[in-house]
Structure 1
């Protein structure tokens, strides 16, 4: 599978007359090499050429980990006292490199590293390869889908743990810690993003910050979490009531649930992505909460928790078999609270499959 991905990129390099691609993004590196790490300030990167075998550059301390992933091509390792760019320059001088430009991840490349690349290949220009890579990652194969299914099950479990942990006297951080502890016991070392447990007025902030706030009855509690499993991410949001809530709060919840249910019905091959956003937004607006739905209906999901496609109302692309993304309408009313319901969705030949399956009917936790 990795060889096919590399070969596809090589073909694109030839068609575009590109000397080589310089890949350093964590998700793209994993997609092309099977190696996932957090490099910090150290250089970890991949060079892909038109006709030569690719090379991976990493600190010596990472070399064995790279080999364990099954990477069979050349590795340039370096120690902290060495300049990896000098080692790369020496290696490139031994190759016959064709092409006149360098393919880069434009949104990820720092000025410092751009200058280093220009020193390696004087006179070469830059071309962006991010769109090509994101389009390669857009359609998932059976192996990727199987991992995403398992990652979704673990996200379901995380919400289940959180709901069972709700208790008067506990704080948002108490509940968050219990969720992540139980997931770590399942072997999860990395979350897709910072886990959210938001209650009461805090839940009215779509990306609020969990705190030492104590849970109080009559409030919404919003859970937003996901795990990284074998390099692939899940992302789920559920909102529950902690104790009895008001009629307005119930109306907010039911509106969001209705918007999500109706939007999911449109998830089938050929649907325009913008129609998904417009469907949910029209339902929420008609209920009088349009100004309280500030974000798009969803985003792509894969080796990154946010990737293509972007499910906003201006996107005229169409759904295809193998796309995976979220559907997550929300209403956030200051001083009242917020509700978001989010599922991971796979487009199939027959329609769609919800990978996340934790119940969505309003739960009142006593």
Structure 2
């Protein structure tokens, strides 16, 4: 049994759980090695305090599942069949008399909970998500290898996007160039829909690319990530087209200094809130405090947003193996905004910044 499954099974023993039902694709992947987007169909991993886990998936995914989930009994079901009957049959075969069942309480839908509760009407339910978050928050070397490669490809994506900027090119055209060139390099999927914003739209932290065209004097903001072996990178860079005024330059330099202050604050055992406050102090001292409207960073891994959460109230300490973003920003509508984002890993002795594209002001 792999170390992840072993750690989770040991926790189930400590909790006196009969079994855990895992239904989120990311947690199934983390524990089993099998990635699947089942759409509306049920994907479920049954993990027991001891013994081999069981993976329940659509029949069309069985061959892939058996290649990936090497330590699981794989159970397929047809589209015309009821997967809950397959789960019930397997549990009966194992003589499972469930008294306590661990579920992902933020992921399991009410409809699916009702089906499970009908099978075990007298069972006690408890949450497994917090334990899985704790396990996933600390990356091993295999995970770090994937994250480093994803970061390198994110750097390359920014390089591609910046080199394609010219007056008149639209946001969506820049998105298309980036993703086309990455496909040629073998990238299968992005961490999230690639974001390119220009002009006034850069003042929207989560704006949507459209047909807006780049014009001289605009900021152009790129926010993107690449998936490698199931692990996400996430990078943001803001550059300029042709020229900038003095205030735009000051905003850019303020964000750059704020981001560096936050990176400099990162070290094992420091409270996460201190990292947010390090960036926020720089922005507040420059007079733009109200225009920094989000936390300084978020955890990174199989999901593009996972634990830890680097907000000002978080007193939890950084620990070796954590990977997260550092991404302060200033957003001043309608003038525009600047965000600079890197991926950072905590090591035993300090940190490793995984993304490396230049943060000096680039004017194209």
TM range (shorter): over 0.9
Gaps of 5+ in 1: none
Q: How many residue pairs were aligned? A: 364
Query: Per-residue CA shift, 1:97-145, capped at 9, x if unaligned?
Result: 3652211111111000001111222211211110100100111111111
Q: Equivalents in 1 of 2:288, 2:356: separation in Å?
A: 26
Q: Equivalents in 1 of 2:172, 2:331: separation in Å?
A: 21
Q: Which residue of 2 aligns with 1:116?
A: 115
Q: Within the alignment, does 1:209 sit opposite 2:217 as a pair?
A: no
Q: Within the alignment, does 1:240 sit opposite 2:225 as a pair?
A: no
Q: Which residue of 1 aligns with 2:318?
A: 319
Counterpart contact for 2:158–2:222, Cα < 8 Å? yes
Q: Which residue of 2 aligns with 1:127?
A: 126
Q: Equivalents in 2 of 1:202, 1:194: separation in Å?
A: 16
Q: CA deviation at 1:321?
A: 1.0
Q: Which residue of 2 aligns with 1:95?
A: 94
Shifted more, 232-241 versus 181-190: the winner is 181-190
Q: CA deviation at 1:94?
A: 1.3
Secondary structure at 1:265's aligned position in 2?
helix
Query: Per-residue CA shift, 1:138-162, capped at 9, x if unaligned?
Result: 1111111111000000000111100
Q: Which residue of 1 aligns with 2:154?
A: 155
Q: Which residue of 1 aligns with 2:167?
A: 168
Q: Which residue of 2 aligns with 1:270?
A: 269
Q: CA deviation at 1:40?
A: 0.4
Q: Which residue of 2 aligns with 1:307?
A: 306
Q: Equivalents in 1 of 2:102, 2:253: separation in Å?
A: 48
Q: Which residue of 2 aligns with 1:225?
A: 224
Q: Which residue of 2 aligns with 1:46?
A: 45
Counterpart contact for 2:254–2:282, Cα < 8 Å? yes
Q: Which residue of 1 aligns with 2:179?
A: 180
Q: Equivalents in 2 of 1:303, 1:7: separation in Å?
A: 19
Aligned counterparts, 1:38-77, within 5 A = 38-77=37-76
Give me the TM-score of the superposition, normalised by structure 1.
0.97
Q: Equivalents in 2 of 1:4, 1:165: separation in Å?
A: 45
Q: CA deviation at 1:52?
A: 3.0
Q: Which residue of 2 aligns with 1:250?
A: 249
Query: Per-residue CA shift, 1:48-86, capped at 9, x if unaligned?
Result: 011232100001110111122252321110111111111
Q: Which residue of 2 aligns with 1:138?
A: 137
Q: Which residue of 1 aligns with 2:328?
A: 329
Compared with structure 1, are the counterparts of its residues 82 and 56 closer, same or farther at alpha carbon in structure 2 (3 Å cutoff)? same
Q: Which residue of 2 aligns with 1:27?
A: 26
Query: Per-residue CA shift, 1:332-352, capped at 9, x if unaligned?
Result: 000111100000001112311
Q: Equivalents in 1 of 2:27, 2:79: separation in Å?
A: 24
Secondary structure at 1:18's aligned position in 2?
coil
Query: Per-residue CA shift, 1:10-30, capped at 9, x if unaligned?
Result: 111111111111101121111
Q: Which residue of 2 aligns with 1:196?
A: 195
Aligned counterparts, 1:81-92, within 5 A = 81-92=80-91
Q: CA deviation at 1:276?
A: 0.4
Counterpart contact for 1:49–1:97, Cα < 8 Å? no
Give me the TM-score of the superposition, normalised by structure 2.
0.98
Q: Equivalents in 1 of 2:144, 2:194: separation in Å?
A: 23
Counterpart contact for 2:98–2:120, Cα < 8 Å? no
Measured on the aligned residues, the alpha-carbon RMSD in Å equals 1.1
Aligned counterparts, 1:337-356, within 5 A = 337-356=336-355
Counterpart contact for 1:23–1:46, Cα < 8 Å? yes
Segments ≥4 residues shifted beyond 4 Å: none
Q: Equivalents in 1 of 2:256, 2:312: separation in Å?
A: 19
